[in-house]
Structure 1
């Protein structure tokens, strides 16, 4: 697309990645304020005040600019950043960023300034006059001394401290140590952490916990924690690689997906910390393939500024803490530019590792990964994050795909148009509907995931899901006190122009095929198959989509519903592989009773041994 700054960038070597920082940053220059302290990209709003949003626009590019500078790349706008830093921290200046309170968005953005003070002190701190230095130090100290969210936010105090202490500004180190101890309390094992006392494990693990932890390991001099953080990151690399498909796409799962390729910063952070968790060629491959995948997405506004959205501009999938500057956390991906050209991360040849033909269980996250032709699928037991828009869709669907993404329901008051992709939904009035949000129980046994959940007060659902070749199988035992309409969907595929698709519905099979994709759901019960075109902009990858569904009605009492689901690259003439055998609810129940283990992220009392 003509507005894509990456359109001519092959993203295959260090010089390409260095150029990408400039290509992302330059469209921001017209949006800097007169005194340099604020960057306003849009009139859209987050839940925090506009001054904090404009600080976000100012600070987040530093995640890429600082490593570029450390790696001796030329950056022509340090004077602008010094001017902005001076004015933003001056209480008497019109562009002052505002006082910092407890749990304040400003604390998030100060972490990038902390990194700049630590790694680019000569550019952003050294030339400042003494009065400006005092203001900067006082402002950062006022932020780090406040309380932070009990989550990955606790690393922000750590990042600020690294910068302040490097500039000779003393801080209360005991406050930092307390937060580092708290962060250790979130650790579940095998590299996985929950983001605070909540039932979710998502991309915050790579682009927050390990990212900051590895920076701390390199820059702090804290040898004990450095070794611990490096070991955890190495273990995590061996797990999280299964979230990546051969084309470079990473699994769209959880919140904050508008940060785009920020999670690729994990691979760069491994290199920054010298952690060869996998051969360097494999690490580099995961990193660069992901950047190239993103470069192919229409994610920019007309002026080349990153939009809020995922593959395309889409406010429907955003969270309340997303301002127009939020997507520039993607600049975290550029940390390895701090390394010289002769570092083995940069000199290694990209390697495409052989994917496992068998499903891979990731117990900590409650996932079973399927490495399928054309995409990677995560089957999930169900996680939970309560607060933000669309979190049931982002955490609690039965399956997520690197190729087909997932859909956020755009209208929860119109059951007939509900996408219900990779989910079963229930309606008692034919209009409003409910899906899985949180679970009362979540377990796994081998490749089988189990959950018990209640979409309504008088409805209880037990669900089992497991892989079977290129398919996955779902079985639900439902106890309800009232009649319900039900809808269950497969994967949402892109809806082409000119009605260039074919539908096949009959004998319990709903199938839709385009020139590039096939999606199908096969019922083992008497539900009616159909193909639905959901409301536009519900799917995070494809703005228009088609979903095969099964719809029907269940009566009070116990009902068992089951289906098999598949999606794959292919054309309209592609024959579906044989569907799996009908699942046996008695055998599945006995398996979980005999071998079931509680999913660690679901168990808030679980801690790594």
Structure 2
């Protein structure tokens, strides 16, 4: 399935799907085949489990293997509905028979409360709705009873109070569409509870007080649009509401995508990779207004092309856990080897026939968008640099947190980028282990650094973001960020009763071949194969240095360098101001521009006085920060 190539060491193995032009429906069907063919030897004897790795034998491994089996179905079911992939479906049907048979050795078992298998039931609801003649009719009466009873467990066990509620919705909608008994009370109760997660402008939070991340497009709206399409005649009011919200959300979400198809890496579950474009597939499937078929086609196919050029497969052609390369360090506690195949949700477009406008339309390029998009429900300001296509999401931070892996890195950095991504800590000691790009890290001199994990107050005023946060009970940080590309400004007011070491990290630059680098008293920069990253101390910093984080901390590149400013702070009030620069793929760019105060006022829109700081907004308004 793979051949060894020479060249960029980050490319490694070329998967056949990388050569797929992804222009036609036939190309996309072939892409699914290319992704699934390496799995053919990984099914268990009874075909009910997908065995991608196993260290030891325990119940969790069994559940992980069932998860892998079910996640393949997110791509396979739409393909079968569209008239392809019959052979693999017959193999999967064998697995369904075995997995739901209590007398079979590969029985998927009785589920528990909040069980991962509840998650994996949702795709069966899709199957009942799209291909009842292929999943239900071929079964014997006993096999039908087994499948129904196994799935109906979802109506008798609690799910987590978040996007999980849609799993119960999909199963019951599937039962209903197949003419089987379903729990109408559960269906309605869960739909009503999901309403309480809705915020504004098309955004949901992932549960009360939860974050706004990719679970909004590839969970809430993805399932909501499927519901709207399947239940539009029976529940027109709710279906219409889901469509309206998705159309509103789409206006914001399009700003997350670069012209080359890359999307901003932000939040958890990023190992689902090209599920980033599943929302656009669902929009095409449901006939969402606001975007032409050619626009939707471009958004989906460009994202797939970008992903299939990344080294995300192992030597056998199987998808790995990671982001732009195999990387367990960035993964979540709930990620298993088969989890990554949730990315196949994007193949929902294969349910659309050849004659559908999505397939007959000419693919359209990403339209020129506004340079700045303020997305207040998500606490984000999206910026675009037209010359390079670079997209960055500036972030205030959030009033709540969670216990998922690397929460601070995934939700609390000052900025997230399509070209530079972000880094997660490798361990807890020192700047190299912490990999603190786009963060202010504070230590009491013991090299154990604290960063923003949650905020006491946040707000956005035009393109200026504000957050108040406390790394210790007696240390308060107020942060202002003037968003922009390629430069942005960070301002911190730090009130501390402790003696602190401060480190302000710029963007993490993939090492590649560095053409130049420098670090001095006021600035640090690096330039090379992947672009230029620089940081300039305008007030309060003592020195600058280049930090080379431990391997596999960044999501895009295994090895990086982070230009970083340093300051020693005694008890009292301190002001720190930095100008941060980043532009991708620009070798030969001057290593650092050291703006004078006039440059700051003119180019960056910031003027530093004796008693106040003035920030000029994109509309010409002035925001004044008193320096008390």
TM-score class, shorter-chain normalisation, is over 0.9
Aligned partner of 1:124 in structure 2 is 135
User: What is the correspondence of 1:477-556 to structure 2 with a 5 Å cutoff?
Assistant: 477-496=493-512, 500-506=514-520, 508-525=522-539, 526-556=541-571
Structure 1 CA distance for aligned equivalents of residues 297 and 536 of structure 2: 40
SS at match of 1:19: helix
- TM-score of the aligned structures, taking structure 2 as reference length: 0.91
User: What is the correspondence of 1:216-365 to structure 2 with a 5 Å cutoff?
Assistant: 216-220=227-231, 221-365=234-378
Structure 2 CA distance for aligned equivalents of residues 77 and 348 of structure 1: 29
Aligned partner of 1:392 in structure 2 is 408
Does 224-233 or 143-152 show the bigger shift? 143-152
Structure 1 residue runs of 5 or longer lacking an equivalent are: 597-609
Structure 2 CA distance for aligned equivalents of residues 44 and 216 of structure 1: 39
SS at match of 1:553: strand
Q: Could you tell me how far 1:457 is from its partner in structure 2?
A: 2.2
User: What is the correspondence of 1:120-159 to structure 2 with a 5 Å cutoff?
Assistant: 120-159=131-170
Q: Could you tell me how far 1:456 is from its partner in structure 2?
A: 1.6
Aligned partner of 2:421 in structure 1 is 405
Q: CA, structure 1 residues 399+421, in 2 after alignment: closer, same or farther (shift >3 Å)?
A: same
Match of 1:375 among 390, 404, 410: 390
Structure 1 CA distance for aligned equivalents of residues 92 and 85 of structure 2: 14
Structure 1 CA distance for aligned equivalents of residues 87 and 613 of structure 2: 66
Contact 2:503 2:565 in 1 (8 A): yes
Q: Does 1:453 align with 2:469?
A: yes
Structure 2 residue runs of 5 or longer lacking an equivalent are: 1-11, 624-628
Deviations for 1:446-472, whole angstroms, at most 9, x for unmatched residues? 111100001122211000001245211
- TM-score of the aligned structures, taking structure 1 as reference length: 0.93
Contact 2:299 2:366 in 1 (8 A): no
Contact 1:90 1:96 in 2 (8 A): yes
Aligned partner of 2:3 in structure 1 is none
Structure 1 CA distance for aligned equivalents of residues 380 and 320 of structure 2: 30
Structure 1 CA distance for aligned equivalents of residues 228 and 499 of structure 2: 57
Aligned partner of 1:603 in structure 2 is none
Q: Does 1:418 align with 2:429?
A: no
Contact 1:245 1:375 in 2 (8 A): yes
Contact 1:48 1:321 in 2 (8 A): no
Deviations for 1:238-279, whole angstroms, at most 9, x for unmatched residues? 110000111110110000000011121110111111113222
Q: Does 1:431 align with 2:447?
A: yes
Structure 2 CA distance for aligned equivalents of residues 112 and 199 of structure 1: 24
Structure 2 CA distance for aligned equivalents of residues 361 and 375 of structure 1: 17
Q: Could you tell me how far 1:177 is from its partner in structure 2?
A: 0.3
Contact 1:48 1:105 in 2 (8 A): no
Aligned partner of 1:442 in structure 2 is 458
Q: Could you tell me how far 1:588 is from its partner in structure 2?
A: 6.2
Aligned partner of 2:4 in structure 1 is none
Q: Does 1:558 align with 2:579?
A: no
Structure 2 CA distance for aligned equivalents of residues 421 and 253 of structure 1: 14
Contact 2:80 2:89 in 1 (8 A): no
Structure 1 CA distance for aligned equivalents of residues 327 and 240 of structure 2: 41
Structure 2 CA distance for aligned equivalents of residues 225 and 453 of structure 1: 39
Q: CA, structure 1 residues 309+475, in 2 after alignment: closer, same or farther (shift >3 Å)?
A: same
Contact 1:382 1:439 in 2 (8 A): yes
Aligned partner of 1:607 in structure 2 is none
Aligned partner of 2:8 in structure 1 is none
Higher relative contact order (CA 8 A, sep 6+): 1
Q: CA, structure 1 residues 446+492, in 2 after alignment: closer, same or farther (shift >3 Å)?
A: same
Q: CA, structure 1 residues 214+566, in 2 after alignment: closer, same or farther (shift >3 Å)?
A: same
Deviations for 1:367-399, whole angstroms, at most 9, x for unmatched residues? 111101241001100135411110110000000
Does 510-519 or 407-416 show the bigger shift? 407-416
Aligned partner of 1:98 in structure 2 is 109
Contact 1:81 1:124 in 2 (8 A): no
- Count of aligned residue pairs for this structure pair: 592
Structure 1 CA distance for aligned equivalents of residues 57 and 174 of structure 2: 27
Deviations for 1:473-503, whole angstroms, at most 9, x for unmatched residues? 1000001111111111111111125xx4321
Match of 1:58 among 47, 69, 75: 69
SS at match of 2:581: strand
Structure 1 CA distance for aligned equivalents of residues 252 and 161 of structure 2: 25
Contact 2:422 2:437 in 1 (8 A): yes
Structure 1 CA distance for aligned equivalents of residues 19 and 518 of structure 2: 41
Structure 1 CA distance for aligned equivalents of residues 243 and 615 of structure 2: 40
Contact 1:44 1:323 in 2 (8 A): no
User: What is the correspondence of 1:35-50 to structure 2 with a 5 Å cutoff?
Assistant: 35-43=46-54, 49-50=60-61
SS at match of 1:580: helix
Aligned partner of 1:163 in structure 2 is 174
Contact 2:522 2:542 in 1 (8 A): yes
Aligned partner of 2:492 in structure 1 is 476
Q: Could you tell me how far 1:590 is from its partner in structure 2?
A: 13
Structure 1 CA distance for aligned equivalents of residues 58 and 158 of structure 2: 19
Q: CA, structure 1 residues 590+513, in 2 after alignment: closer, same or farther (shift >3 Å)?
A: closer
Aligned partner of 1:10 in structure 2 is 21
Deviations for 1:1-58, whole angstroms, at most 9, x for unmatched residues? 5452412211122211111111111111111110111111112699982222111111
